[in-house]
Amino acid sequence: MATGEWTTDDIGDPRSKSDFLRIWDEHTEEIDRIWPTIPPHRWQEKDSAFGAWPGIGINLLMYSIDNEIHHRGQAYAYLRALGIAPPAFYDRS
């Protein structure tokens, strides 16, 4: 949203709870850094996320949030399947 350029990162292959949480924290820091740079008008502009999903900025954001929730649930299921206790979903510290 900040630049109109949609890229993906290869996060590697986390094999442990600590690897997964480290990568999660790194991405959270990046989001925290970039978020304030998004101009307000971008939320109402048409865009195409990753060149595949057209929409208005705010709608793309809402989809991203829904998608993050979905993948968080997947990650919790995978961690549990590996016998690793995931962090409490409500613990944001």
Q: What residue ranges do the domains of the chain occupy?
A: 42-87
Position 93 scores a pLDDT of 58
pLDDT digits (tens, 9 = 90+) for 12-68: 788 887 888 888 898 899 889 999 999 999 999 999 888 888 999 999 999 989 998
Q: How far is CA 44 from CA 7, 11, 25, 51, 60, in A?
A: 20, 30, 29, 18, 10
β-pairing verdict for 46-49 and 53-56:
antiparallel
What would the two tokens of residue 61 be? 């954001």
Position 24 scores a pLDDT of 84
What would the two tokens of residue 4 be? 């109109």
Name the helix (H) or strand (E) containing 28: helix 17-34
The answer to whether residue 92 scores a pLDDT higher than 70 is no
CA gap 7, 5 in Å, rounded: 6
